[in-house]
């Protein structure tokens, strides 16, 4: 007896079944709330006109699916989820309120807050029905929440948005990278809120604990201010010694300094010669520093554009001369001087900016052979045209 051959439709079902079998079911979660700001109930018209409502299920925020129930005067946000929690952002002027509603793997799909008072910060809600939010211990609750949902054994974890958020929080509070313990509220103090001497001490301790080797030396750091005092940059010089000693730098920029908690970012600035304000939104940071080690040490001069607009900061990508993409708008320019004798140290080497003409001029040289008997001089100019540099 010959075995029966499956027909076309049976084969199609067999092929599609695994795909359907592994499809994760999605569900609709809702958040019901009556919104207040400064102890006043906010109408639907004011809420939708003066506030931004955003939701996220994967780290990327989009406009929320919003509706209003007239009989109960209740705002309702709905979000499609799989097993994740509901993230709601409410943005008003300079302040952002982040709310995280824990669905416990999509087992809880409806949340109600009788009175939702607007407040800057991040708050984790663990109850389906809440009268008012408890604003105490919100920093530790959120930090420990991020720890609890950190993926285990994930490939390319550094690209994971939860891991990125944890790194950002650790930098904010000065917690070393390998510390995965939960924290109490009094253990979480934002570095950016401290006095500058304490900030320098905190950052030095953070760098020492984060990735310093046994023979690493970290200096006490320096702080540099923009002329309008809207930006400040902390720079630390480090020396790591093995067979040879290598010099490198860590830096941190603080901005939105008028806020209760200024923003901070880890950056890659060299020691700073000057911070110049070019216009309302752009600053030029001129830097000089060395890198490399042993007999292979280079001195760098760098001009970096910073754009600070609408409370957000953008730092230019560095291009190294002479390998410049001249067709692009340049946000940062670097010149490198090869190792040289003391007698030649200050010859044919500069990167300087003239604020009267908005011209950035450079001159430097490089050896053309390993014996360092031949060298070539490079020179040129760029002009700042409002938001970038262009080659002249």
Q: Does the structure show a pLDDT above 70 at 345?
A: no
Does residue 71 contact residue 88 with C-beta atoms inside 8 Å? no
Phi, psi angles (nearest 5°) of residue 98: -110, 130
Residue 380: CB partners within 8 Å, gap ≥ 6? Answer: 321, 361, 362, 391, 392
pTM of the entire predicted model: 0.78
233-255 pLDDT, tens digit each: 999 998 887 777 888 899 999 99
- pLDDT band (50, 70, 90) for residue 4: low
DSSP 119-134: -SEEEEE--SEEEE--
Cis peptide before 322 (omega within 30 of 0): yes
43-69 pLDDT, tens digit each: 999 999 999 999 986 667 899 999 999
d(CA 302, CA 235): 14
Q: Does the structure show a pLDDT above 50 at 138?
A: yes
Q: Does the structure show a pLDDT above 80 at 372?
A: no
> Which range, of 159-163, 225-229, 249-253, averages the lowest pLDDT?
159-163
Does residue 365 contact residue 376 with C-beta atoms inside 8 Å? yes
- pLDDT band (50, 70, 90) for residue 347: low
d(CA 86, CA 77): 10
d(CA 101, CA 89): 11
DSSP state of 183: -
32-47 pLDDT, tens digit each: 999 999 999 999 999 9
Of 330, 342, 332, nearest in space to 299 by CA: 342
- Mean local confidence (pLDDT), 89-115: 93
Does residue 361 contact residue 333 with C-beta atoms inside 8 Å? no
- pLDDT band (50, 70, 90) for residue 341: very low
How confident is the model at residue 353, as a pLDDT?
A: 92
> Which range, of 101-110, 219-228, 331-340, averages the lowest pLDDT?
331-340
DSSP state of 297: E
Kindly report the average pLDDT of the chain as a whole number. Answer: 84
Report the share of the chain in percent with pLDDT over 70. Answer: 80
Q: Which uninterrupted H or E stretch holds 381?
A: strand 375-384
Cβ burial of 186 (10 Å; 0-12, 13-18, 19+) is exposed
- pLDDT band (50, 70, 90) for residue 376: confident
286-308 pLDDT, tens digit each: 998 887 666 667 778 888 999 99
- CATH 2.60.40 residue ranges for the chain: 27-135
Of 5, 68, 75, 70, nearest in space to 37 by CA: 75
- Domain 27-135 indexed as CATH 2.60.40: yes
Terminal CA-to-CA distance of the chain, rounded, Å?
86
CA count, 13 A, side-chain hemisphere, 363: 5
> Which range, of 151-155, 175-179, 213-217, 321-325, averages the lowest pLDDT?
321-325
Residue 334: CB partners within 8 Å, gap ≥ 6? Answer: 300, 301, 302, 303, 318, 319, 320, 321
Instruction: Count how many residues are written for the chain.
Output: 392
Does residue 233 contact residue 267 with C-beta atoms inside 8 Å? yes
How confident is the model at residue 293, as a pLDDT?
A: 64
Specify the higher pLDDT residue, 337 or 367.
367
How confident is the model at residue 251, as a pLDDT?
A: 96
How confident is the model at residue 348, as a pLDDT?
A: 63
Of 313, 314, 349, nearest in space to 334 by CA: 349
């Amino acid at each position: 007896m010959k075995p029966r051959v499956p027909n076309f439709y049976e084969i199609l079902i067999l092929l599609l079944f695994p795909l359907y079998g592994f499809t994760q079911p999605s569900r609709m979660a809702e958040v019901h709330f009556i919104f207040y700001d400064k102890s006043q109930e906010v109408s639907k018209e004011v809420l939708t006109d003066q506030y931004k409502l955003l939701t996220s299920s994967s780290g990327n925020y989009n406009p929320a699916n919003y509706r209003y129930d007239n009989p109960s005067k209740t705002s309702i946000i709905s979000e499609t989820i799989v097993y994740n929690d509901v993230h709601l952002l409410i943005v008003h002027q300079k302040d952002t309120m982040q709310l995280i509603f824990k669905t416990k793997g999509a087992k809880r799909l409806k949340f109600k807050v009788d009175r939702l008072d607007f407040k800057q910060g991040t708050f984790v809600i663990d109850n389906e029905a809440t009268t008012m939010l408890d604003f105490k211990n919100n920093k530790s609750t959120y930090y420990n929440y991020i720890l609890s949902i950190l993926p285990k054994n994930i490939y390319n974890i550094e690209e994971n948005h939860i891991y990125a958020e944890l790194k950002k929080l650790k930098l904010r509070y000065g917690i070393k990278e390998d510390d995965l313990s939960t924290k109490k509220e009094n253990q979480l103090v934002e570095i950016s809120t401290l006095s500058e001497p304490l900030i320098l001490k905190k950052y030095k301790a953070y760098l020492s604990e984060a990735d310093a080797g046994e023979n690493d030396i970290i200096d006490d750091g320096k702080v540099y201010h923009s002329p309008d005092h809207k930006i400040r940059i902390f720079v630390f010089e480090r020396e790591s010694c093995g067979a040879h000693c290598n010099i490198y730098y860590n830096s941190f920029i603080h901005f939105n300094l008028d806020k209760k908690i200024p923003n901070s970012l880890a950056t890659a600035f060299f020691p700073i010669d000057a911070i110049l304000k070019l216009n309302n939104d752009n600053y030029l940071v001129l830097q000089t520093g060395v890198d490399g080690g042993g007999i292979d040490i280079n001195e760098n001069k760098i001009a970096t554009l910073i754009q600070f607009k609408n409370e957000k900061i953008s730092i230019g990508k560095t291009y190294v001369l002479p390998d410049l993409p001249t067709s692009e708008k340049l946000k940062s320019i670097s010149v490198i001087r090869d190792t040289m004798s003391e007698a030649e140290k200050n010859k044919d080497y500069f990167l300087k900016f003239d604020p009267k003409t908005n011209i950035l001029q450079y001159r430097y040289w490089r050896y053309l052979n390993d014996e360092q008997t031949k060298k070539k001089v490079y020179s040129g100019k760029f002009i700042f045209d409002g938001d970038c540099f262009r080659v002249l």
